A and B are shown apart, each in its own frame.
Chain A
Amino acid sequence: MNLATKDIRHNLGRFILTTVGVGMLLMVVMGMGGIYRGIIEDATLLIDTVGADLWIVQRNTRGPFAEVSRVPANLVHRTLAVPGAKTAREFVFHTIQRERGEIQRGQGKPIRIAVVGLSWPIDKGAWLPLVRGTPLSQNHYEMVADRTLGLSLGERVRLGKNSYTVVGITEGMISSSGDGLAFLTIADALDIQFDIPGEATRLEREARHTRGSLSDLGRAQPSITETAFKLPTEIAAIGPRQISAVMLTVLPGTSPDDVAAIISGWGDVSVYTADGQREFLLKGTVEKIRRQIGLFRVLLTIIAAVIMALILYTLTLDKLHDIALLKLIGAPNTRILGMILQQALILGMTGYGIAWVLGLKIFPMFPRRVILTGEDLMQLAAIVLAISVLSSILGIWKAMRVEPNEALTG
């Protein structure tokens, strides 16, 4: 006869309530782990999926994710000439925040978009995890958006002076700060980033013209100052477009480190491997939040242990008379220890099950990703097992000290 289950059966309502409480507590512990995992996953997602071996960024910066990096677009051609380089792509990355009403039909809730420029035509976004639609098919006015942005396929979104049609929807493409990614061609991404209002352009042209006409060259040859009114790209000396970084893949059989060694000799850029970039994010941007959540998780685990210990202790206190009676009729200590331990394990494991089921239902509704990995779930299961055993110790200790003749009093 199993005393543990008999006792639970007799106090079923109370036991269920207790288990649901423990379950919800464990769900929070589980969720904390999932949020922690989600933050790490999101932080490194783009680096992992974009498939670059080397990142070439502005000298002495840790860009383009951890901080702002500016390199000239023609750096692509320079890096492609390095022995061992296979492909070089431009990379543009910046985050914009708009009101929904500004960019689409709808109400004015803020929407944050992490804009990623793809190196058209080498990179059309074929590597993106599309759930609907297609990659980019033309070099302007198309975008692939993540589902979390809430944009629908075929929708036209106004960003800057142009509208962009959503041609593809990805899933789980999130920036390190949790914003949904939108993929456009480099040209479009830059247009959005450097969307200068007409008035600013007019003022700048006027200023340029004035500077020109005041210079010796402008005085000697007034027609040259007329170029000030042309588009920036048509002015020779204004220089190439600025992009965030260049992504390089190396030929098979070539070590990225060898290629990096050559590029690191250049005075204007710094070069990092994909692992290096991942480090920057994990050790830099998300480090504090990661530690914060990590500590919170430890704290919650301890609280869960304390609460479970108290529950098991009071469950045992309520049974002291029964335990004395069992001892009186000759039940050995091991039998009583077994009863309390089994109840602890049933409580812990049922609570864990409830946490898991609830978590699967609730976590997808969270604004940021909560990732439950098999490894984390196993780890938590082991922790719950340990907590169950540890927390029953107090109750067991109390039960062991009960004298059989206490059954006769009260």
Chain B
Amino acid sequence: MSEDYVYEAFYYPGCTMATGVDESNRPMQIVLRKLKLKLNEIDEWNCCGSSSGHAVNHEIPVGMGARNFSLIEKGVPVVIPCPSCYRNWATAKHHLMTEPETKQKYEKLYGQIHSDNEILNIYDLYHKVLTEAKAKGHVYEGETPLKGLKIAVYYGCGAMYPKVLRPTDQRRDTVEKVVRHIGAETVMWPWPNRCCSAFVSAVYPEIAEELVTQIVVGAFESGAEAIVTTCAMCQMNLEMRIVSSGLQLGLPVFHLNQLMALYLGEKAEEHNDWWKYHLVDPVPVLKKAGLWAA
């Protein structure tokens, strides 16, 4: 690793981040640069199987994960921005590590599989880096605490695992910690882990509208002015289904990357290239919080 970086790892974008969501990708590039994190996209990576892989064949996420694990170098961690991809990687890792015959089967197909490499959620990485920087008293250039922004932190189903996959040191407040670290306020609210309806949103919009309304109204009633999530699908479902339900509460759903970038000195008013992709306009909330220089 060159001296210019504090951390280097592989990066697995996943299909959602690779075919859209520029409003999160763009600030993420800025955040990585400012935090001095070097993430190298895995060459020729494949889909993790998403919800549909394990839905019809429980071996699909294992096989797809096995191929992804065969594309990385030994000992280098993988950073994953999507909580749902992360869970599929973790499933694959679990099977490859505990069933030697499964690993052998896929090594015949894909060559050596580095399933013992560490995998981590991007927000765990942010948390780690920010905490270390704070301990050292490091201040980032242009650092702007997001004072006055009241946020409901939304994990969706991304922080839930069956017992065998539960990380031993799992905390359920990592994103809250990050959000408070960057100066925003977090609210107590009922639905941080409620499912956003995932693929059901595409098949039965009316079910999705019911689930999403419950979530967004919950955030609104708890005094939040915005929601933040690390999952691009949650972000899309929440904004899309609250809009299609017709309810207008004015609660935008931010990507964590956007708030991180603002904290690290980006100017909200210069980034219409992020805000224009939102179905619920975030500008009024940013203005109200004094984060928008007129």
A binds B: no
A→B interface (CB under 8 Å): none
